[in-house]
Homo-oligomer: A and B are copies of this chain.
Amino acid sequence: SRRAMGRAMGLAGVLVGLFLVPAVLVSTSLRHGAPRAEPAPEPAERELASGAVPEDSLWPLPQWLRTSRRQLQLAPARFQLVHGAGSSAGPACGLLQDAFRRYYEYMFGQSRRRRGRRPLGARADPELSQLQVVIESRDPGCHSYPHLASNEAYHLTVTEPVAVLKANEVWGALRGLETFSQLVHEDDYGSFLVNESEINDFPRFAHRGILLDTSRHYLPLKSILTNLDAMAFNKFNVLHWHIVDDQSFPYQSIYFPELSDKGAYSYNHIYTPTDIRLVIEYARLRGIRVIPEFDTPGHTQSWGKGQKGLLTPCYSGEQPTGSFGPVNPILNTTYNFMTKFFKEISSVFPDAYIHLGGDEVNFDCWKSNPEVKEFMKKQGFGIDYAKLESYYIQKILNIVSSYDKGYMVWQEVFDNKAQLKPETVVQVWMENNYAHELSSVTGAGFTAILAAPWYLDYISYGQDWKKYYSVEPLNFPGSEKQKKLLIGGEACLWGEFVDATNLTPRLWPRASAVGERLWSNWNVTNLQDAYKRLTNHRCRML
């Protein structure tokens, strides 16, 4: 072989995990501060003396857990996921019923099919017969959508003869089911085992997102759904759907069908209203919000194809060049269109937030257009085109507010001093000095989301997950109050070089690093420990 790169072997270990049977788990431990509760025991017969512990299989690591070396056996033919006594949710809770089916399949599905050639219960271990799920709130949330204030906390005890998963809302139960399924493992002889454990868990940050970009390359529904599954495995709870951009407009609008008729890559490269509903429901069943982004006034070339007069005509001297710039901010027709368009969006997408973009507005075209210049003069903006941008954004924000929606924006909207509603979420993406930007945004009292260090479309050799993992989001200058205003982050996979053929291996397990950073305790930072767990987690995901 043929070069120094050959020695940067990092990822190999993670990838190899694909083919390794997860080690059998031995010993007892208590996480976070406390030492392991018992000395390392003699490995039980049939167990590998690997020094592995049950939490080696967990990702992201729960906030608090105690595990024991005592193992219980699960018999797939008998084991049940059930609603526990006193739960406010029952068989009418479609969301939980669906989750029960799904997690049963994850835990036993593949193996069940190879079964039949050996008797069940050959081991002498005591049996775990049920996982009882108890929802404690009077309103479990079975038929609602997850939202920023959803309660994702849960408490899980695994002891003979039944395990109990308690959560205030179904959203916590979903997270707990994922954790429980991660604890269950199959030994070399096909027995399913779980260690007696107790886990108390809740997310560190409320907004844990993945950005997918379906404009640069169209993503078939299947890719989006597969990604929602992966998100659930990593306890992500927001799909930031960057659905349209300069390159294409795949969103099929009900009021303005020409936008996708003319702006999509083809008649097939669209998301119909049915597709959108399917994504939203698939996400809801996994406790994931869908926040659509309709980015204006820049990044709108594809809008112009189906909506004549929307974009600013660019000029060379006194002649229109025939090309177009950002949305034309000086026309009433623009705002009439946006009013109707965002009315539709507000009703199609149930989430309380819409992402309005507002980034990377290029002023050249505005500067070239004589009518825009005239408007600038009339408004007293001088030659400060950031003021024109803010003028436009302000009107869009007001339109969306009138539909009772909150909004997210990219950081430029804050930087350019648009008047924002207090609950506005400002997404910080510029890598240069993002800590300072977080400080400014929260210092001004706004809620912030961090994306800057997690642009996963950037590629490199080897284990870049460590870089993503080592980010401490709260490491910016600010008061306690300011720190509370940072509500989470997003891993962003821009679509210039990503489509259905490479999305999954490019995004996962790299995004898992962001998932643990946003869920687990701030002090969960050990890279060796993370590597071990991430290896097992990747294998399980595959």
Contacts and interface: CB of A to CB of B under 8 A. Distances in A.
Interface of A: 1-3, 5-6, 8-9, 11-12, 15-16, 18-20, 213, 216-218, 220, 242, 245, 247, 265-266, 268-269, 295, 299, 359-360, 410, 429-430, 455, 457, 459, 461-462, 492, 494, 496-497, 499-502, 504-506, 542
B2 A430 contact: yes
A180 to B, nearest CB: 26
B502 A2 contact: no
Given A461-B497, A505-B505, 6 more contacts: A1-B242, A1-B360, A12-B247, A15-B497, A19-B218, A501-B505
Contacts of A501: 15, 18, 504-505, 542
B542 A494 contact: no
Given A12-B247, A247-B12, A501-B505, A2 B360 contact: yes
Contacts of A462: 496-497
Contact of A1 (B12, B20, B220, B359): B359
Nearest to A20: B266
A456 to B, nearest CB: 13
Nearest to A242: B1
Nearest to A508: B501
Given A459-B461, A496-B6, A16 B504 contact: no
Contacts of A19: 218, 220, 265-266, 268-269
22 contacts: A1-B213, A1-B295, A1-B299, A1-B359, A1-B360, A2-B359, A2-B429, A5-B457, A6-B494, A9-B496, A12-B216, A15-B499, A19-B218, A19-B266, A19-B269, A459-B461, A461-B496, A462-B496, A501-B504, A501-B505, A502-B505, A502-B506
A266 to B, nearest CB: 6
A48 to B, nearest CB: 12
A394 B219 CA distance: 55
Nearest to A298: B1
B266 A2 contact: no
Contacts of A457: 5
Chain A interface SS verdict (over half):
loop
A462 B462 CA distance: 19
Contacts of A6: 216, 494, 496
A247 B16 CA distance: 11
Contacts of A505: 501-502, 505
A218 to B, nearest CB: 6
Nearest to A458: B5
A494 B312 CA distance: 49
A360 B2 CA distance: 7
A41 to B, nearest CB: 26
* Residue picked from A9, A268, A501, most chain B C-beta under 10 Å: A501
* Residue picked from A12, A218, A359, A492, most chain B C-beta under 10 Å: A12
A269 B213 CA distance: 37
A497 B2 contact: no
A115 B247 CA distance: 35
Nearest to A216: B12
Contacts of A2: 359-360, 410, 429-430, 455, 492, 494
Contact of A502 (B12, B410, B502): B502
A320 B314 CA distance: 75
Contact of A9 (B15, B20, B247, B455): B247
A341 to B, nearest CB: 20
A250 to B, nearest CB: 11
Contact of A496 (B11, B410, B455): B11
A245 B295 CA distance: 50
Contacts of A217: 12, 15-16
Contacts of A359: 1-2
Nearest to A462: B497
Contacts of A245: 1
A43 to B, nearest CB: 19
Contacts of A18: 499-501
Q: Which 6 A-B pairs have the closest CB atoms?
A: A502-B505, A15-B499, A501-B505, A2-B429, A15-B217, A11-B497
A156 to B, nearest CB: 31
Nearest to A6: B496
Contacts of A218: 16, 19
Nearest to A269: B19
Contacts of A461: 459, 496-497
